[in-house]
Chains A and B, each alone.
Chain A
Amino acid sequence: MLPRDRKGGSQARPYRFLLLIPLVFLALFFFYPLLTIFSISLAPEGQLDLSAFATVITSYYYRDTLGFTIVQAVLSTVLTLGLALPGAYIFARYDFPGKVLLSSLSTLAFVLPTVVVAAAFSALIGPRGVINDALTAVFDLQSPPIQLERTLAIILIVHVFYNYAVALRIIGGFWATQSPRMEEAARVLGAHGWRLWWHIRLPILRPAILAAAVLVFIFTFTSFGVILILGGPRFATLEVEIFRQATSLFNLPVAAALSLVQIILMFALMLVYTRLQRQPATELQGRVARRPRNMREWMMVIANVILMVILLFAPLLALVLRSFMSEDGLTTQFYRLLSTNPRGSVLFVPPIQAITNSFLFALVTTLIAVLLGSMAAYLLARRESRFARWLDPVFMLPLATSAVTLGFGYIITLDEPPLNLRASPLLIPIAHTLVAMPFVVRSVLPALRAIAPGIQESASVLGASSWQVWRLIDLPLISRGLIVGATFAFTVSMGEFGASSFIARPDTPTMPLVIYRLLGQPGATNYGQAMAMSVLLMAVCAVSFILIERLRSAGIGEF
C-alpha cells in the first residue's frame, strides 16, 4: 500500500468545512427523525421498555424471518455479481456498437415499480405468458412447463433483474479506468483463465466488487415489494414485517425493535466492508476499451449482450407490447386515455404533469445527491480522518432503514418552523436523496481512493491551484463514478423508492404514483393505462440517461 498522506497537500483548507455538509444533512433528515421515532416507540412514557426486543429476539417467527432475509439476500447478491462480472468485463475492455446505449438502458430495470415488473414477468414467464404459451404449443403440453409463481426462484430472478445494472455499472465504471498493463504482464508470464481472474482481475477490482456487493446485499436484504407481490405471503423479509407491524398492527415497539435489528446488522456488515475495502492505489489510465480483435472476443461480447437482452430487456419488451394490446388487437388507446378525465376527478393527472413532477423531483434529487455524495466521498477518502471507517457505514444507513419508520419520524419531527417540511413537496427529494446518496458515494469513492496522491501533489508543486487540481485531475478520474452515481440518483427518484409513499404528500403526483392509482381500480382500461404509463416512465428515464451520458462527453470531456 502506497503512502497517501494528503495532509497539507493540495486540499485547500478553506473548503474543508464544506465536507461536513453531508453530515449535517444526515443529522437533520435521518438521525433526528429516526432517533425521535425510536425513542417514542421504545420509551413511550419516558421509561425505556425493551420488552419488544425480548419478543423479537426470542420468537422463532422473527428468527425464521431474519434467516430467510439473509439467505435470499446472499443468494441474490452472489447471482447478481456472478452474472454481472463478465458483463462488466466486456464493457470495460471492449468497444462495440451500441455499448453506451446498452449500459444506460440496463439501468431502466431499476426504475420500474414492483407491480409493473411483476406484470412484465407474468406476461413473459407467467402460466399464460409468452414463453409458456409457446412451449405448451410446441410440445403439446397439458400444463405450462415453467411454474415459478411465488417461489424463491422468481424472487431471485427479479432481484437479479433489478440489481444487475448496479453491479454492472459500478464494477464496469471502475474497471474501465484501470490500466490493463498488469493484466498484460501476467498474460505474458503465462497466467490464463481462472488464474488471471483470481490473481489479477479480482484483486484489482476488489473495491468495486465489494462496493457493488454491499449495495446489492443491502437492497435485497431490505426487499419489500418484490417479496410481497412476487413472493407472496409465505415469504417475509424483516422489511415486510416492519411494514406490517407499523401500519396494519400499529405495534410501534416491535416495528422499532425490528428496524433497529436491521440497522445494527447492516452497520456491522458495513464495518466489515470498510475494513476489507482498503486497497492499493492502482495505476489509472483514461481509456482502455478497444474493439474486439478476434472471433473469441467477439463471441464473448455477443454472448454477454444476449444474456443482458434476455434478462433485462425481454421483460421490458413484454411490458411495451402489453401497453399496446387490447382485446381487439393492437391499439394506442391506453396512451390516449391517459390524458382524458371522463369523471372530472381530482385524482386525474395529465401525463405531462406527472412527467414534469417526476422529472423535477429527480433533477433536484440528483443535484443534491451528487453534490453531497461526492463531498461525503472526499470526506471518506481523506486518510487523516480516522473516523472515516466509522463514518462510511453511517452514510449507507439510510439504505438499510425501513421507509415506513423514517416516514413516521418525519411526521413527528419536521413539524415546526424552520423545519416545517412534513407536508411540503420538498420532503420528497430530501427522502430520495437519502437513498440516492449512498450510490454516489459508492460509485465515486473507489475512483477517488485509486488516485495516486503523487499526481495531485505534482500538479500543485507545478503551480496548479486547488481548483485546477480538482478540475484537471480529480474530475476526469472520478467522472465515470459521478455519472454512474448521478444515473442511479436520478433513477432512485424516478422510481419513487418506497419512502415517499410513507410521507404525507400534497398533490404533486409522480408517474409511479399514477401507476399505483390506476392499478388500484378494476377495469381493463385502467390496467392498460398503467402499462402505458410504465412505458412512458421508461421512455423518460431512457432519454434522461442518454442526456446524463452526454453531459459527460460534453461538459467534463472524454479523457
Chain B
Amino acid sequence: MLRRMAIFILLFLIVMPVTAQENVLTLVTHDSFNVNEDVLAQFEDETGITVQILRSGDAGTMLNQSILSKENPLGDVMFGVDNTFLSRALDNDLFAPYESPLLENVPDEFKLDAENRVTPIDYGDVCLNYDVSYFEENNLALPESLEDLTDPAYKSLLVVENPATSSPGLAFLLATIQAFGEEGENNYLSYWASLVENDVLVVDDWSTAYYAEFSGSTGSEGTRPLVVSYASSPPVEVYFMETPPESAPTGSIVADNTCFRQIEFAGVLANAKNPEAAQKFIDFMLDVPFQEDVPLQMFVYPVNSEAAIPEIFTTYSAIPEKSATVDPAEINAKREEWIQAWTETVLR
C-alpha cells in the first residue's frame, strides 16, 4: 500500500504539468523581498496581472541563477540586484532596457545605468550602529570617522561581518576602500591592520553580528557596542520592540564617509515571456504606493522623491549626507582581489 502510494506520488511528481495561467507575471527576487498584500493586490486588480513570486536565496544566488538561465529565464522581472552586483548583471546582458516614465521623480544619483537596463527602486546605507546605553554609561564619545575606530578608546568594541560571505560586510569594506584608497602607506589594508590591532571582531553573517555579538539589540547576550548594520536598523529595532520605548536603544552613526550606500534595482529580464507585464510592474514599483510601503517592509528608503517616509524613520534615524560609493564596474572587477587581500590581512 505504502509502496503503491509512493509510486503514484513519484509519477505525479514527474509528469505533473505546470498549469498555464493567463497573464501571469513571475517576479524573480531574493529572500528579503517584501510588500504589503493590499498594495500588491491593487496592482493585480488594476492590471489583471497575477504576480507570482519566485525566491532564491540571497541576492548573489538569485543573480547567478538568473545569469545561468538567461536564455530561458526563470521569470519576467527581477528585483534585488544592488550596486555591488550591478556590473555582473549588466556584463551578462541579463536585462532588456526599459525607461519608466516615473523615473523623472528619481534623483540622478540613483540612476547608474545610462541605458536604463535597470531601474533604481530603493536605497539604504550600511552604517555603524551603537548601543546607546553603553556609550552613556561609560561616558564615551561616539566615533565620528572610520579613523576613530582605531583609537584605543574603542578597543574591542566593534563587530563587523566578513565581506566574503555578507553583503553589509562587503559594503563596509568598500567604504574603507573609498576612504583610504589602495595606494600609499595608509591604504585600506593598513587601516584594517590597525582595526585588527584594536581587536575588531569578524563574524560571517549579519544575524550573528547583530543578535549574538552586538550588545545593543534588545535582550542580546552580545558584548560589543558597535556593529556594522544599516542606518535604518535603529527605527526597525524600535518598531519591533515589545513595548514602545522612551528612547531608542540603538543609534546609527551617519558621519561623512562612514557609510556605504546600497541601491537596489529592478529590471525586465531579457527573453522574458511577458515583458509588457514586467514593464508595468517596474512602473508599479516606482509609483508612490509601493515606494511608501518600502521602508516598513524592507527597511530601506524609497528612491521616488514624491514618496513620504514614515515618521519612525525620521525620528530614530537620519540619512547620511555623504555616503561612500564605489563605481559598480570597479567593484565587479576587483571584488575578488579586495576580498582576498582583506582575508590575508584580517583573518590570517
User: Which residues of A are in contact with B by a Cβ distance under 8 Å?
Assistant: 21, 25, 37, 40, 115, 118-119, 122-123, 126-129, 150, 228-229, 232-234, 240, 243-244, 246-251, 325-328, 331, 333, 343-348, 364, 367-368, 370-371, 404, 407-408, 411-412, 415-424, 426, 429-430, 501-507, 513, 516-517, 519-528
CB of B299 within 8 A of CB of A371, answer no
The answer to whether A367 touches B68 (Cβ under 8 A) is no
Query: How distant is the Cα of A407 from the Cα of B203 in the complex, in angstroms?
Result: 26
Residues of the A chain whose Cβ atoms lie less than 8 Å from the Cβ of B246: none
Contact of B165 among A248, A250, A326, A527 (CB under 8 A): A248
Contact indicator A327/B219 (Cβ below 8 Å): yes
| B54 CB contact (under 8 Å) in A243, A343, A346, A423 | A423
Known: A247-B58, A345-B297, A430-B13. 7 other contacts (CB 8 A): A21-B10, A325-B219, A368-B9, A505-B54, A507-B53, A519-B207, A523-B239
Of all chain A residues, the one with the shortest Cβ separation from B340 is A61
Chain A residues near B88 (CB-CB < 8 A): 250
Query: Which residues of B are found within 8 Å of A243, using beta-carbon distances?
Result: 165
Q: Are B242 and A524 in contact (CB under 8 A)?
A: yes
Indicate whether B190 reaches chain A with its CB closer than 8 angstroms.
no
Q: Which residue of B lies closest to A40 (CB)?
A: B68
Q: Which residues of A contact B38 (CB under 8 A)?
A: 344
Q: A506-B53, A523-B239 are in contact. Are A345 and B35 (CB under 8 A)?
A: yes
The CA-CA distance from A419 to B15 in the complex, in Å, is 8
Instruction: Decide if B103 is an interface residue (CB 8 Å cutoff).
Output: no
B contact residues, total (Cβ < 8 Å): 79
B162–A233 touching, CB < 8 Å: yes
Could you list some 20 contacts between A and B, CB below 8 A? A118-B212, A123-B221, A233-B203, A233-B204, A234-B347, A246-B64, A250-B67, A327-B219, A333-B242, A344-B37, A346-B37, A370-B6, A411-B74, A423-B26, A423-B75, A502-B56, A505-B56, A519-B207, A522-B233, A527-B218
Q: How far is the CA of A416 from the CA of B236 in the complex (A)?
A: 43
Whether the pair B69, A411 counts as a contact (CB closer than 8 A) is yes
Interface residues of B in 292-325 (CB under 8 A from A): 296-297, 299
- How far apart are B100's CB and chain A's nearest CB, in angstroms? 22
Q: Is B36 an interface residue (CB 8 A)?
A: yes
Q: For the complex, give the distance between the alpha carbons of A474 and B31 in Å.
A: 46
Q: How far is the CA of A243 from the CA of B54 in the complex (A)?
A: 21
**Complex: how many Å from CA A347 to CA B36?**
9
Whether B65 lies near A407 (C-beta < 8 A) is yes
CB contact under 8 A between A345 and B36, given known A122-B221, A408-B64? yes
A37 and B67 alpha carbons, distance in the complex (Å): 13
Of the listed residues A233, A234, A507, the one surrounded by the most CB atoms of chain B closer than 10 A to its CB is: A233
B106 at interface (Cβ–Cβ under 8 A)? Answer: no
Q: Is the CB of A233 within 8 A of B165?
A: yes
- Closest residue on chain A to residue B15 by CB atoms: A418
In chain B, residues 188-225, which have Cβ atoms closer than 8 Å to a Cβ of chain A?
202-208, 210-212, 217-219, 221, 223
- Taking the complex as formed, is B105 at the interface, i.e. its CB lies under 8 A from any CB of chain A? no
CB-defined contacts of A513 to chain B, threshold 8 Å: 31
| A371-B74 in contact (CB<8A) | no
Contact assessment for A507 and B55 in the assembled complex, using a CB-CB cutoff below 8 Å: yes
- With A346-B36, A424-B18, A519-B207 already in contact, the answer to whether A524 and B217 are too (CB < 8 A) is yes
CB pair A524 B240 closer than 8 Å:
yes
Closest 10 CB pairs of A and B: A523-B240, A524-B218, A371-B6, A247-B60, A128-B221, A504-B56, A233-B162, A367-B6, A228-B204, A347-B34
Is the Cβ of B211 less than 8 Å from the Cβ of A233? no
For A404, list chain B residues within 8 Å (CB).
Answer: 61
Would B17 and A524 count as touching, CB distance under 8 A?
Answer: no
List of B residues within 8 angstroms of A527 by Cβ: 211, 217-219
**Contacts of B165 on A, CB cut-off 8 Å?**
228, 233, 240, 243-244, 248
Closest to B66 in A: A411
Choose among A234, A368, A370, A422 the residue that contacts B74 (Cβ–Cβ < 8 A): A422
A525 near B55 with CB under 8 A, answer no
Interface 0/1 of B333-347, CB less than 8 Å to A: 001100100010001
A525 touches B31 (CB 8 A): no
Provide the residues of chain B in CB contact with A25, threshold 8 Å. Answer: 10
Contact yes or no, A115 B207, CB < 8 A: yes
Nearest Cβ in chain B — how far from A519, in angstroms? 5
Tell me if B150 is interfacial: C-beta within 8 Å of chain A. Answer: no
A523-B218 contact in complex given A346-B40, A407-B65, C-beta closer than 8 Å = yes
CA of A377 to CA of B3, assembled, Å: 15
Which residues of the other chain, B, contact A517 by a CB distance below 8 angstroms? 31-32
| A501 surroundings in chain B (CB, below 8 A) | 31, 57, 61
With a cutoff of 8 Å between Cβ atoms, the chain B residues found around residue A228 in the complex are 165, 204-205
Q: Give A229's nearest chain B residue, CB to CB.
A: B208
